[in-house]
């Protein structure tokens, strides 16, 4: 079985981010630390569990992003992926989920992957669209928010349980090749082993540089980007219990919570 796992690099914390008011883009400070998107860690772990269950399975980890995203591909190799692919894109334009999916689908096309696995979303933009768009561009069946899987390689099918509204589950059977977006909690991502860490340090990644001229037609743009409004400060009520109760009632009447 051949599996392609898509991994994204995201900032570790929003505390080191800023917004350029002139361009409307996020600016990363020198202190910004980057890591693998946690949802993609669950996707990679699911692929690794399949590899352990079905000998001969090959896992290729792919990341689309700037030069620094190569460290995320290296992290995937440390966790146990067999090969690493980095689609290097350094342009400063707004990268929509469609653009990301376009280049991943372009790479995966005609490479005969049995499964393409992504996290259910990215922690930075939370668009929840890339996996579905990859499936649409490749005309493959897909399941989103997958919380359990049962693979039947001999029959070329996978049964995926999806998390849907109201705390319910929906079970679907897909013909492979297929695309799955993995929900958090489906497994416990492993720590890299020392042998894999040493291997990842010397293993060459497949580097594919993407130029701005390779971009598909833009379907959407980012019109603005703003920080959320500051939350209102709380009010501390002091005094005796009777005084506190009276002040609280007064506030509730002022806010029209009580008539």
Return the SS3 of 255: coil
Asked whether residue 40 is assigned to any structural domain, the reply reads yes
Burial of 230 (0-12, 13-18, 19+ CB in 10 A): exposed
Residues 6 or more apart in contact with residue 2 via CB below 8 angstroms? 57, 58, 60, 111, 112, 113, 114, 115
Tokens of 245: 């109760």
Q: Is residue 59 part of a domain?
A: yes
Show Cβ contacts of residue 176 under 8 Å, excluding neighbours closer than 6 positions.
114, 115, 153, 156, 157, 158
Residue 23: its pLDDT value, please? Answer: 67
Which residues are paired to 89 by β-bridges? Answer: 210
Looking up residue 141, the CATH number of its domain turns out to be 3.40.50.620
Q: How many domains does the chain have?
A: 1
pLDDT of residue 24: 65
- Whether residue 167 lies inside any domain: the answer is yes
In a domain, 165, yes or no: yes
Residue 138 lies in a domain: yes
Domain membership of residue 116 (yes or no) is: yes
CA distance 42 to 45: 5
Q: Is residue 206 assigned to a domain? A: yes
Q: What is the mean pLDDT of the chain?
A: 90
Q: Which two tokens stand for residue 28?
A: 């990363």
0.85 surpassed by pTM? no
Residue 246 lies in a domain: no
Which residue carries 């372009």 as its tokens? Answer: 106
Confidence of residue 27 (pLDDT cuts 50, 70, 90): confident
pLDDT digits over 160-214, tens only?
A: 999 988 888 999 999 999 999 999 999 999 999 999 999 999 999 999 999 877 8
Confidence of residue 64 (pLDDT cuts 50, 70, 90): very high
Range of the structural domain that residue 201 is part of: 2-214
């Amino acid at each position: 079985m051949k599996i392609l796992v898509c991994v994204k690099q995201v900032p570790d914390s929003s505390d080191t981010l800023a917004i350029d008011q002139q361009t409307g883009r996020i600016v990363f400070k020198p202190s910004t630390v980057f890591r693998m998107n946690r949802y993609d860690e669950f996707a990679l772990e699911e692929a690794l569990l399949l590899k352990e269950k079905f000998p001969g399975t090959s896992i290729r980890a792919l990341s689309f992003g700037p030069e620094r995203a190569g460290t995320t591909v290296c992290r995937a190799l440390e966790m146990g992926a067999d090969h690493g692919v980095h689609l290097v894109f350094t342009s400063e334009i707004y990268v929509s989920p469609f653009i990301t999916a376009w280049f991943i689908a372009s790479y995966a096309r005609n490479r005969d992957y049995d499964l393409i696995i992504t996290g259910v979303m990215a922690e930075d933009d939370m668009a929840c669209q890339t996996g579905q768009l990859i499936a649409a561009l490749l005309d493959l069946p897909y399941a989103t928010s997958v919380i359990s899987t049962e693979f039947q390689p001999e029959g070329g099918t996978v049964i995926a349980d999806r998390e849907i509204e109201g705390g319910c589950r929906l079970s679907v059977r897909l013909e492979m090749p297929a695309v799955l977006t993995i929900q958090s909690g489906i497994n416990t991502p492993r720590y890299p082993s020392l042998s894999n860490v040493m291997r990842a340090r010397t293993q060459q990644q497949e580097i594919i540089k993407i130029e701005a001229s390779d971009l598909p037609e833009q379907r959407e743009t980012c019109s603005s980007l703003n920080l959320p409004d500051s939350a209102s400060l709380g009010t501390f009520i002091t005094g005796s219990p009777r005084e506190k109760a009276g002040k609280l009632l007064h506030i509730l009447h002022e806010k029209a919570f009580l008539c």
